[in-house]
Structure 1
Amino acid sequence: MFAHTLTQELLRVLERPDLRVIAGERQIALDPALELPFRVQPTGAIVLGLPAQGQQEETAFFLRHALELAPLLDIAPHRALCAAFCAARTAALFWYLDTGRSDADAPAAWVPQMAQAQVPPPSALRQIWQALAPLQPDVPRQSGTDPFAALHDALRDLWPILGPTESLMATGGDARLAVDPATGLNHYGCSHRPRPWAITFASSTASSLSERGFAGAETARLSLLAGALHGRGDAAACALDTDIQAHIAAHFGLVAGEGVVLAPSGTDCELYALALASLAPSGRPVSNIVLAPEETGSGVPLAAMGCHFANDTALGHGVTRGAPIAGFPTDTLVVNVPMRDAEGHVRPVAEVDAETCRLTHDMRAAGRHVLLHRLDLSKTGLLAPGLPALERACAPMDGTGDGPDVVVDACQARLDPLRVRDYLDRGWMVMVTGSKFFTGPPFCGALLLPTGVRRRLDGPRSVPVGLKDYSYRHAWPRGGAVAGLPAGHNIGLILRWCAALAEMAAFSRIPRVTVHDRLRDFLSAVSARIMAEPALELLPPVRPDRTPMEGAWDTLPTIMCFFVRAPDSDGEGFHPLVLPDARRLYAWLNTDLSGLIPPDDPDVALACLLCHVGQPVPLAHPGLPGMVAGALRISAGARLVAGEPSHDGMDPTERLRREVRNVGRIVDKINLILRHWSRLSMAAPVQTYLPHGWQARAILPA
């Protein structure tokens, strides 16, 4: 890919995992005599010039611009003028995302104009072209009307899908996806770019992309842009929506007559399930029985009532959190069944089962249609109610009409596809995501529909009208019930799912027995390491109660939850961190603490290590009577099993040993933070995408 003329500085920039993925096999050379930052050759090769030899931020900008322009000229040589401005738009957005710098620091005068929310006017485009034209092969002169007026109209249609993959993936969700320019990370402390230098066991919450996932999203973005440049933008997006639905269906074994609804999140899946329950033939008011809402998404209780669960929707509409969504019945009842008692202990399974059956019976006897949940699994790995209890709850009752709808919350996706197939065979809906176990980017969910529920979309009634603020028609299987949803596509959701599907495909190639053995060995070693640490208290892992299946890995508890001893606690008993302090610890683990730790600390070398674990779960603890503690989580995800591109060439056994050692490094950094808690509290350090003074080779996990 790289010519021998490249300098060490450029090679360091090309070591960035995002740029390395985008560069692929494209030929890149350096010509110090070239007075332009770069030029794309007629062959598609890139020649970098002398201006690219500056600060690394500017070098990365010019290279990213070249790497965008070259494939667009390959894709649409007949629209070279338009391709030039599309590439400039993406490069401009990349600059601000990459540096967080102001307009005054822009490396070219046109950058602030091309980063604006609106397309610059034709006169500005004409002026910008003077700077862009020399960067690419000659564009044929266009006779007749002013080409920049026509270009302006074309760019206005393209503007929403122009930008780097990492920017577009932050759209079509909610505010938690937005990247903070000061940190390079989103609300979950993760990035839409690869971050292989970070130790990551956060799959119970959210993960940064691997190079594999980033490549999957980048390929999809270029496919969308290619379709748009050829006048087939909607068809290209439709094809990707359909392809994603088909791949999800194939992974989980769906058959003809069943369906997949694409959703930005598990909470949106909850809303869609309620909408489908409201279309049940009986037309009765719905009672929604939710398991352990405290261990699902924070917005689930509101979505379960048909209410707005945030102040904005995935499609960018401003709404009022807690207000009813138009078209959803206002007589919906939500009944919660907790899975832990007031002291944080797991309730006996028989007790949870009995309560679920009783509530279902009472609601059905009262003439209500029941939407009944099975949680598989919760944030801490709990599964309930049991299958026999669900069968009893769904058994026919005299005079109650139709049976309950059941929806399985499998958003953690920590189950074998054959289990999903069994749920669908029972006529139950299933919520899944690509963003938990599979380690795709946050906010990519799907609701799987069995045949009986899928047929409701062909019936005479429509889904609630308020869903138009949440979903596009093409995210659903075809049917008259969704005809009123708007046309269009959630581009961010498409890219996130393409990233997740790349991880799912890699995981699917590993034999099930191998998956089981790798997870078993890792989890056993991690459990022993946590239990051996006095500052930590492991919650007893709960093995999911599943029907035996040869080679099944989903009977293993893949989420390890633990409390951390408060730094100021006395020697009597175990007093864990309260929830706000657990959240600070969680963030500081993912932060470069260099310069804040005294140099004489024996573990000072760990200060720059970035460690991403699962967000704290609020739980009661007997050591904190009347208060809420926070339990952190180390989770085994698909990448632990399948590896990732940065692991290429490593022996699988040694790679897993390294992962276990990395858990030990997380524990050591926890102890480092606890020793210097007061100092860090006063400094209030913040997370960053990169460690300070980044040198990837020096800090990759050992």
Structure 2
Amino acid sequence: MFAENLTEALLRVLERPELKVLAQFCCITLNPSIGHPFQVDRQGNIVLGAPCLGEETVVAFHLRHALELAVLLKGTAESSCETAKILFAATRTTARFWLLDSFADHPQPESWVRLFTAADVPAKAALKAVYPALLPLVAEAGSPQQHTLSSEEWDEILRWLAGAWELIGPVEALMAEGGDARLTVGVRTGLNHYGCSHRPRPWAVTFASSTASSLSERGFTGGELARLALMRAVLHGDALAFLREQARDMRRFLAGFFGVADSDAVILSPSGTDSALAVLALSASGGVPVTTVLTAPDETGSGIPLAAQGCHFAQETARGVSVEKGALIEGFPADARSLTLPLRNVEGGLCVSEDVVRACQVMVAEEVAAGRRVLLHVLDLSKTGLLAPDMEAVAALCAAYPGWLDVVVDACQTRLMPQRISAYLEREWAVMVTGSKFYTGPPFCGALLLPASWKNRLAKGTLPVGLAAYANQCEWPSSSACQVLASSANHGLLLRWAAARAEMEAFAAIPADVVSERLHSFLHAVTQAILAQPDLQLLTPYVPQRPALTDDWDRRQTILSFMVRAPEAPDIDTPLDFDRCRKVYQWLNADVSEYVPQADRKLGALLCHIGQPVALPHPHARGGKAAALRLSAGARLISGEPSHDGLGTKARMAREIADALKVLEKISLILVHWSAIAKADPPASYAPRVQAGVLASGAEPRDYPSGQKQTSVTISSLALGRS
């Protein structure tokens, strides 16, 4: 291969969005004559050697190693022990990066990859054997003999690694921790259970904010900068104190963002389901038996019904504790029970609002008459954008049963203005929010906002001891009741919130009238396109009934839900059943170009990530159960992202609309070629035509308008050096 082609490969790797954050701190040159993959110094300079002119996955591996080492070394003193810690930290991070970046059958580029990806810290002998090979990567390190570590220094390094091991890794790996198995990245797909990635996917079309989104470059940068700060604390042995302060800072940010008077009234939680568990614990803290009324639990989280009864809702908690799903959590009352308040009828249509209110009134009256406190979950909004029951009717119920009715607003979609949340808290209703739905942060970053009366319960009551398997003290308000919680910190949760915070701040910088204007143009165009598409049937948009605010944008439906025609049916009167609708959802996020005609291959290669299907009753669907796919407007649609730099507002919004229409076109393409695609059943993938996790050369699924700015890394003095 010609040298100039190899250099182009290096440039492609440097353009990878997850590498550009670190690269901005470094100055990179190329000299294939050096005898190592690279060398770095303490000023952030990197010299790349001949291995960085090879196959792209290997180039990415060595470049990731060089960037991590250069950034961690930058500005540090020449201490042999500290240098060894940095070398081992950078090596473990790079080894874990390789696991995410390569296929299982790829040969490892360095013999130490397996050693540094193990769950346990390597033995001293193994570290001693690797150390001499790592030392020359630091330009001024000299010979291994000059940096011989004493026995005491090796013991110190091993003690440090024992405490730091689980905190060392690339941010995309660390963000997948402290949640549950749904965050695990599939080896085959490069995506998690939600079909998204903690790495940016700027080549993909993403309208999945009703479920979960891949990180944008902005969100990734927010998470990566937080990880770098964590790594510096780890190197100094201050990780736990750092994480506790980060938790306090994030709670302060959320209090300010949502208008909570006291940051000590914010509870961080990995998910809305964890928040629901905390809500039950607080509602039951007075010792009165509790009945939870769940509004349309099929349109919230799948684990909510179990959490509402104080039961484990998965096989493992966010703190990594193995539990028995469905078993009662220690300390939760065994007499907790739940009732369901449906919002849809047997045909999938919406129930009349007045009927929903009457049903709710009957449930509350009967439970209170039986001497039970009622914990009512109201929705703002559901998976398909429903707001129910009527909020004024709920307020009337609270007035009718003072002291017997607790209300928590499930606002986990967070498709509402912060003023609405302040108003709920003023009514003494708790509110569950996330940074992972509308705000397009990574999945599994949630929070519970407490009104004053709820926070006061912590001063008087107790919490179930079983909550220690789920939560840490630093995530909750300071109180004696919270002493039963764990004393550690959830680094994955805090990194995910750092990414979400970047998106929230970008959205908050856009004036409300501009938000409303951009939402209107997008939603109107896409709604008309769905209505004009014979393969689709739009669910009747539900307009949230809210009091008017100046320039409000949250009194419109931002989740467009629609059913898809069954491939064997002549029209949409027979929609896809739930199971096959899940396949459409999967294939939209897959490269299906091999199974369609040449003229359609560009569209077939386009990766489209939208909201997971929601089950709906339907008399004509197979098994009587249809499903609705969801195309949603999220915060990133309004604020844009770095990959949009250089586009004017009108051009960017036109592109967003065009991308949404391509999603609809790809659905029709799938229906036309259903048999061939179904036979192959291609999995969703991180990138089209994947080659070890990077976009393959020649794959161009999206059009980037001429004149659009392409963010790039400057490589100074890039030359081939001596041959």
Band of TM-score, shorter chain: over 0.9
Q: How does 1:85-234 map to 2 (within 5 A)?
A: 85-102=88-105, 105-139=107-141, 141=147, 144-234=150-240
Match of 1:392 in 2: 396
Q: Among residues 305, 308, 313, which one is paired with 2:309 in the alignment?
A: 305
Call closer, same or farther: CA 1:248–1:696 in 2, change over 3 Å.
farther
TM-score using structure 2 length:
0.93
Moved more, 171-180 or 129-138: 129-138
- Residue 141 of structure 1 and its aligned partner are, at CA, apart by 3.5
Call closer, same or farther: CA 1:626–1:595 in 2, change over 3 Å.
closer
Counterpart code for 2:109: P
Match of 2:410 in 1: 409
Aligned equivalents of 2:61, 2:619: Cα separation in 1: 54
Does 2:686 align with 1:689? Answer: yes
- Residue 39 of structure 1 and its aligned partner are, at CA, apart by 0.4
Match of 1:51 in 2: 51
1:501-547: CA deviation from partner (whole Å, max 9, x where unpaired): 00000000000111011101110111000000000100011000000
Query: Contact conserved, 1:197 with 1:696, CA < 8 A, in 2?
Result: no
1:186-228: CA deviation from partner (whole Å, max 9, x where unpaired): 0111000000100000000000000111111111111111112
Q: Among residues 654, 660, 667, which one is paired with 2:657 in the alignment?
A: 660
Aligned equivalents of 1:112, 1:294: Cα separation in 2: 43
Call closer, same or farther: CA 1:319–1:119 in 2, change over 3 Å.
same
Counterpart code for 2:369: A
Counterpart code for 1:420: I
Call closer, same or farther: CA 1:257–1:95 in 2, change over 3 Å.
closer
Aligned equivalents of 1:278, 1:108: Cα separation in 2: 55
1:272-298: CA deviation from partner (whole Å, max 9, x where unpaired): 000010114xx3101111100110101
1:480-516: CA deviation from partner (whole Å, max 9, x where unpaired): 1110111101111011110000000000000011101
Call closer, same or farther: CA 1:241–1:75 in 2, change over 3 Å.
farther
CA RMSD of aligned residues (A): 1.7
- Residue 623 of structure 1 and its aligned partner are, at CA, apart by 2.7
- Residue 86 of structure 1 and its aligned partner are, at CA, apart by 0.3
Aligned equivalents of 2:511, 2:85: Cα separation in 1: 47
Counterpart code for 2:588: L
Q: Among residues 698, 701, 715, which one is paired with 1:699 in the alignment?
A: 701
1:565-596: CA deviation from partner (whole Å, max 9, x where unpaired): 0110135x611110010000000000011222
Higher RCO, Cα 8 Å, sep 6+:
2
Match of 1:342 in 2: 346
Moved more, 163-172 or 562-571: 562-571
Match of 2:441 in 1: 440
Call closer, same or farther: CA 1:5–1:238 in 2, change over 3 Å.
farther
Q: How does 1:424-439 map to 2 (within 5 A)?
A: 424-439=425-440
1:315-355: CA deviation from partner (whole Å, max 9, x where unpaired): 11111111111110011121110000010001111111121
Aligned equivalents of 1:257, 1:148: Cα separation in 2: 43
Secondary structure of the residue that 1:270 maps to in structure 2?
A: helix
Query: Contact conserved, 1:76 with 1:83, CA < 8 A, in 2?
Result: no
Match of 1:278 in 2: 284
Match of 1:676 in 2: 673
Does 2:296 align with 1:292? Answer: yes
- Residue 75 of structure 1 and its aligned partner are, at CA, apart by 6.3
Query: Contact conserved, 2:14 with 2:20, CA < 8 A, in 1?
Result: yes
Counterpart code for 2:608: C
- Residue 144 of structure 1 and its aligned partner are, at CA, apart by 4.7
Secondary structure of the residue that 2:223 maps to in structure 1?
A: helix
Call closer, same or farther: CA 1:653–1:487 in 2, change over 3 Å.
same
Query: Contact conserved, 1:354 with 1:389, CA < 8 A, in 2?
Result: no
Aligned equivalents of 1:701, 1:695: Cα separation in 2: 15
1:38-74: CA deviation from partner (whole Å, max 9, x where unpaired): 1002322111111221110000000000111111112
- Residue 696 of structure 1 and its aligned partner are, at CA, apart by 8.0
Aligned equivalents of 1:681, 1:384: Cα separation in 2: 38
1:73-121: CA deviation from partner (whole Å, max 9, x where unpaired): 126544111000000000011111100334x711111121111111111
Aligned equivalents of 2:697, 2:396: Cα separation in 1: 59
Counterpart code for 2:630: R
Query: Contact conserved, 1:289 with 1:373, CA < 8 A, in 2?
Result: yes
Call closer, same or farther: CA 1:419–1:113 in 2, change over 3 Å.
same
Moved more, 43-52 or 606-615: 43-52
- Residue 680 of structure 1 and its aligned partner are, at CA, apart by 1.1
Query: Contact conserved, 2:44 with 2:74, CA < 8 A, in 1?
Result: yes
Secondary structure of the residue that 1:188 maps to in structure 2?
A: coil
Aligned equivalents of 1:429, 1:76: Cα separation in 2: 47
Aligned equivalents of 2:685, 2:531: Cα separation in 1: 30
Counterpart code for 1:679: A
Match of 1:84 in 2: 87
Does 2:353 align with 1:352? Answer: no
Counterpart code for 1:279: S
Counterpart code for 1:234: L
Query: Contact conserved, 2:189 with 2:685, CA < 8 A, in 1?
Result: yes
Query: Contact conserved, 1:408 with 1:429, CA < 8 A, in 2?
Result: yes
Match of 1:539 in 2: 539
Aligned equivalents of 2:398, 2:290: Cα separation in 1: 15
Query: Contact conserved, 1:6 with 1:29, CA < 8 A, in 2?
Result: no
Aligned equivalents of 1:130, 1:5: Cα separation in 2: 33
Aligned equivalents of 1:396, 1:606: Cα separation in 2: 57
- Residue 5 of structure 1 and its aligned partner are, at CA, apart by 13
Query: Contact conserved, 2:594 with 2:601, CA < 8 A, in 1?
Result: no
Secondary structure of the residue that 1:405 maps to in structure 2?
A: strand
Aligned equivalents of 1:178, 1:144: Cα separation in 2: 40
- Residue 625 of structure 1 and its aligned partner are, at CA, apart by 7.5
Call closer, same or farther: CA 1:652–1:665 in 2, change over 3 Å.
same
1:148-167: CA deviation from partner (whole Å, max 9, x where unpaired): 33212211111010011000
Counterpart code for 2:303: G
Call closer, same or farther: CA 1:143–1:32 in 2, change over 3 Å.
closer
Counterpart code for 2:442: P
Aligned equivalents of 1:258, 1:493: Cα separation in 2: 18
Query: Contact conserved, 1:620 with 1:629, CA < 8 A, in 2?
Result: yes
Match of 2:518 in 1: 518
1:128-180: CA deviation from partner (whole Å, max 9, x where unpaired): 01110000144573665353332122111110100110001111111100000
Match of 1:588 in 2: 587
Secondary structure of the residue that 2:551 maps to in structure 1?
A: coil
Match of 1:320 in 2: 324
1:597-637: CA deviation from partner (whole Å, max 9, x where unpaired): 233xx423211110001000000124327511111000000
Call closer, same or farther: CA 1:360–1:36 in 2, change over 3 Å.
same
Call closer, same or farther: CA 1:696–1:275 in 2, change over 3 Å.
farther
Of all paired residues, the percent bearing the same amino acid is 48
Counterpart code for 2:574: H
Counterpart code for 2:267: V
Q: How does 1:572-587 map to 2 (within 5 A)?
A: 574-587=573-586
Call closer, same or farther: CA 1:581–1:315 in 2, change over 3 Å.
same
TM-score using structure 1 length:
0.96
Match of 1:236 in 2: 242
Match of 1:489 in 2: 489
For structure 2, the residue ranges without an aligned partner over 5 or more in a row are 691-695, 705-723
Counterpart code for 1:199: V
Aligned equivalents of 1:27, 1:697: Cα separation in 2: 29
